[in-house]
Chains A and B, each alone.
Chain A
Amino acid sequence: MSDLAPRPRRRLLLAAPLGVAALGGLGFWYMLSGLQNGSFNPRGVPSALLGRTPPDFALPPVEGMSHPGLSSADLRGLARPVLVNFWASWCVPCIIEHPQLMALQAEGVPIFGVSYKDRAEDARQFLSRRGDPFTRLGADPPGRVAIDWGVYGVPETYLLDRQGIIRWRYAGPVTAEIMNEDIKPLLRRHA
């Protein structure tokens, strides 16, 4: 029998499938444990605006409501961090998160709202029935400003620090858990 190619290298190559599979398996393991503790979320898209200020915009107030409208100027030079919440009266998860927003407002957290693709009358009814947590409320019936923020569904909530930089974005209804584990610590950190 003539000489074979260097045996160690051949063994290494033939062990490559095992190596690749092991690495892959390790990765999947981390993904699974990440799924369970929330650190890995294949459905969550991070906001492209994290660490930036939102684009310039000026939204008129919702008709018939006493709140002032919302514009980018209102989000700079703030005394404390604020939440910006995109919502609509036709959005079922918005109903689910509303109590959390009311609770935050009760603690004095300034919440600015954007009424997304909604009629003024429906928005008014929603708030009069369930409570009004907003200090400012801008109307965005065509939804264009929302697109400028990178909003892709409602509800979405953004946390801005005092300089007006977006520090956190959550797509989905704010649950009590998120309120306690994400929002409150962030509010403290950027106070």
Chain B
Amino acid sequence: MIPELGHFALAMALAFCAAQMVLPMLGASTRDARMMAAGQPLANAAMLSVLVAFICLATSYAVNDTSVANVVQNSHSDKPMIYKITGTWGNHEGSMVLWVLVLTLCGAAVAAFGRELPSVLQARVLGVLGAIATGFLLFILFTSNPFDRMWPPAPDGQGLNPLLQDFGLAVHPPLLYLGYVGTAVTFAFAVAALIEGRVDAAWGAWVRPWALASWAFLTCGIALGSWWAYYELGWGGYWFWDPVENSSLLPWLASTALLHSAIVVEKRGALKIWTVLLALLAFALSMLGTFLVRSGVLNSVHTFAADPARGVFILAMLGFYIGGAFALFAWRAPAMVPQGVFAPISREGALVLNNLLLCCIAAVVLVGTLYPLFLDLVAGRMISVGPPFFNLATLPLALPLIAAMALGPLLPWKRAALWPVIQRLWWAALIALGGFGVALALTGAKFWPALGFGLGLWLIAGAATDIVDRIGLFRQGARIALARAKNLPRSAWGAAIAHAGMGVTALGIAGMGLATETLVALNPGQSARFAGYEWRFDGVRDAPGPNFTARRADVSVLIEGQVAFVMTPARRTFPVGRMTTTEAAIRTNLMRDLYLVLGEERDGGAVLRIHHNPLAPWIWLGAYIMALGAGVSLSDRRVRVAAPNRRSAAAAA
């Protein structure tokens, strides 16, 4: 009954989305207010229908309804309830329903929060979102129906990949999808502007909050995925330049460029074509990621079960949406005349540099990811493009970007002199150089981590300089500065916080560059010394879980002879999937992680791998600070409703 309801809800959603695609667009072209207004209720109805479908699917998982083929393939009665529910989106079909749910939620959000948008723009945006949702719903209903039944019902499910039976990985897709799908909203704005044939400053203001929101979610989703890899895969690595990781990084890079570029459109009416293109690109890259992960052309740990037939459908959607958008761009963009003169050294100039470097990095990551595929296709040769390439190729682009990140916010618009700005940053430069020097000295001349420290400090100090400068802390005394700080627009705080967050991440990465590890074989009672602690191996015992067996080691960590804490790394074996996972024991004090892995057991003793990871938590902490910065900016009403531009927007409508 419930699966039928869910299936029906999906079909209803398709109907609503199809109407949402057609009516508002027609209304916008004919300037018919009633048809345009139809977009909002349709978007809400679509969202509710998909929500019903999603709840039905989750319920089927929760009760382990083995007459639903999807549940049988991906779940098992022994799974803990929370993982039964999160397993809803741990497979291809369920994750597509989640995708469409987030998309319709975005549509409802545009309907609800976009009331200040000119009705033509809002109608077109909803229309495009409806079109995208229609495509995905067709895809689900025709090739990936999660509600397909199985008769007679199977006795039990086939279980879930144990790697997915984990909190971090369970929560990572929804966050990531909020980011991925969020790029559809800015895409819709861009397409709407292209259809209208006009991009103006008001458009830049309307787009910005949506760009910020989707960027913030993407940042969190990527950070969560990286953190998961760190604690689950057992080697202390946090970024592997894996093709699927790259698929999430590419829209992030485009979104970062977009949200900076939109500022220029809003404030100066310049970079319109660039910004529209970036909005199209962010979604294009997001959909490219969807294609790569689900079509089978990629060979990666993240890919869902490959099905070339589905790949064809997704490719067709890519062709329609992205091809269509780029064709629209090729047709309409030539009529858009670049405006807004500015000198090369200026805030706009810095933002152009920012755009350039981010896009170059994106190009490198894109080419690196796709090259092996295309080389295999064209020449039949198999090569690997791995971390050594990506690190080498992106570093020369990332370094100037980081250096400029501190300078940019301090530059005035239109025309600026560089030297005074550099002078204002003198103490930031001093801190950075000092940090670099100290790091070099303390770590025994390891150049790259020291450089990372310097750059991280540069970013944080630069962000602080920005705020200090705006409130005139050293020019006008504390009381006036405090008053100005209270009145400082939140978007200024948000930008400073986000840039500082990037600095924190840079420091974390630099710290990890100094990570050390050791491998010891110990018998029960024996100890090893490492990282200033004594590690005493107390033994291994069986530790069964709900659907796995495990061997868990007890390792006491002593400081000066006293037991400070006990760490319990384990190895789990899942009978249903016949897989083993390592559960590293991690102990953090936010300044460093102690990371302990249980290796092979032999003759009563065990092999232990111990890592000391300085500043590791800062990698993800920095990412969350960046998202916090975006949140702070979004809390600024002026960013959300583009208040300064309401007059010009009303004129444009």
Do A and B truly interact? yes
Asked if A22 and B323 make an inter-chain contact with CB atoms under 8 angstroms apart, the answer reads yes
A73 at the interface (CB under 8 A from B): no
B588 at the interface (CB under 8 A from A): no
B258 at the interface (CB under 8 A from A): no
Asked if B333 and A14 make an inter-chain contact with CB atoms under 8 angstroms apart, the answer reads yes
Asked if A32 and B295 make an inter-chain contact with CB atoms under 8 angstroms apart, the answer reads yes
Residue of A whose beta carbon sits closest to that of B308 = A35
Interchain CB contact (< 8 A) of B299 among A17, A18, A31, A43: A43
With the chains together, A25 CA to B333 CA distance in Å?
22
Residues of A within 8 A of B281 (CB): 17
Interchain CB contact (< 8 A) of A21 among B311, B322, B376: B322
Asked if B315 and A18 make an inter-chain contact with CB atoms under 8 angstroms apart, the answer reads no
A40 at the interface (CB under 8 A from B): yes
Contacts A25-B323, A32-B295, A32-B312 given: A15-B377 contact, CB under 8 Å? no
Residues of B within 8 A of A22 (CB): 323
Asked if B330 and A14 make an inter-chain contact with CB atoms under 8 angstroms apart, the answer reads yes
A4 at the interface (CB under 8 A from B): yes
Residues of B within 8 A of A60 (CB): none
Asked if B334 and A27 make an inter-chain contact with CB atoms under 8 angstroms apart, the answer reads no
- The 18 sampled A-B contact pairs (Cβ below 8 Å) are A4-B337, A10-B334, A17-B326, A25-B315, A27-B377, A28-B311, A28-B315, A32-B308, A32-B311, A32-B315, A34-B377, A35-B297, A35-B311, A40-B297, A40-B376, A42-B299, A46-B380, A46-B381
With the chains together, A46 CA to B375 CA distance in Å?
13
**Majority SS at the chain A contact face:** helix
Interchain CB contact (< 8 A) of B326 among A4, A21, A30, A44: A21
With the chains together, A10 CA to B333 CA distance in Å?
10
Chain B 311-333 per-residue mask, 1 if CB under 8 angstroms from chain A, else 0: 11001001100110011011001
Residues of A within 8 A of B277 (CB): 17
With the chains together, A31 CA to B312 CA distance in Å?
10
Asked if B319 and A17 make an inter-chain contact with CB atoms under 8 angstroms apart, the answer reads no
Q: Which residues of B contact A (CB under 8 A)?
A: 273, 277, 280-281, 284, 291, 295-299, 306, 308, 311-312, 315, 318-319, 322-323, 326-327, 329-330, 333-334, 337, 370, 373-374, 376-377, 380-382
A41 to B: closest C-beta gap in Å: 8
Q: Which residues of A contact B (CB under 8 A)?
A: 4, 7, 10-11, 14-15, 17-18, 21-22, 24-25, 27-32, 34-36, 40, 42-46
Asked if B298 and A42 make an inter-chain contact with CB atoms under 8 angstroms apart, the answer reads yes
Residues of A within 8 A of B373 (CB): 27, 31, 42
With the chains together, A190 CA to B183 CA distance in Å?
56
Residue of B whose beta carbon sits closest to that of A48 = B382
Residues of A within 8 A of B315 (CB): 25, 28-29, 32
With the chains together, A17 CA to B323 CA distance in Å?
9
Asked if A18 and B297 make an inter-chain contact with CB atoms under 8 angstroms apart, the answer reads no
User: Which of B281, B295, B299, B308 gathers most chain A CB within 10 Å?
Assistant: B308
A182 to B: closest C-beta gap in Å: 16
Residues of B within 8 A of A24 (CB): 370
Known: A10-B334, A27-B374. 10 other contacts (CB 8 A): A14-B329, A14-B333, A17-B329, A25-B318, A25-B323, A27-B373, A32-B295, A35-B306, A42-B298, A46-B382
A43 to B: closest C-beta gap in Å: 5
B496 to A: closest C-beta gap in Å: 33
Contacts A25-B319, A45-B382 given: A18-B330 contact, CB under 8 Å? yes
User: Which of A14, A40, A45 gathers most chain B CB within 10 Å?
Assistant: A14
B304 to A: closest C-beta gap in Å: 15
Residues of B within 8 A of A28 (CB): 291, 295, 297, 311, 315, 318
Interchain CB contact (< 8 A) of A7 among B297, B333, B334: B334
With the chains together, A28 CA to B337 CA distance in Å?
34
With the chains together, A42 CA to B373 CA distance in Å?
7
Asked if B299 and A36 make an inter-chain contact with CB atoms under 8 angstroms apart, the answer reads no
With the chains together, A34 CA to B373 CA distance in Å?
12
A132 to B: closest C-beta gap in Å: 29
Residues of B within 8 A of A32 (CB): 295-297, 308, 311-312, 315
Residue of A whose beta carbon sits closest to that of B281 = A17
Asked if B295 and A14 make an inter-chain contact with CB atoms under 8 angstroms apart, the answer reads no
With the chains together, A34 CA to B378 CA distance in Å?
11
Residue of A whose beta carbon sits closest to that of B284 = A21
User: Which of A10, A27, A44 gathers most chain B CB within 10 Å?
Assistant: A27
With the chains together, A36 CA to B307 CA distance in Å?
9
B382 to A: closest C-beta gap in Å: 5
Residues of B within 8 A of A4 (CB): 337
Residues of A within 8 A of B311 (CB): 28, 32, 35
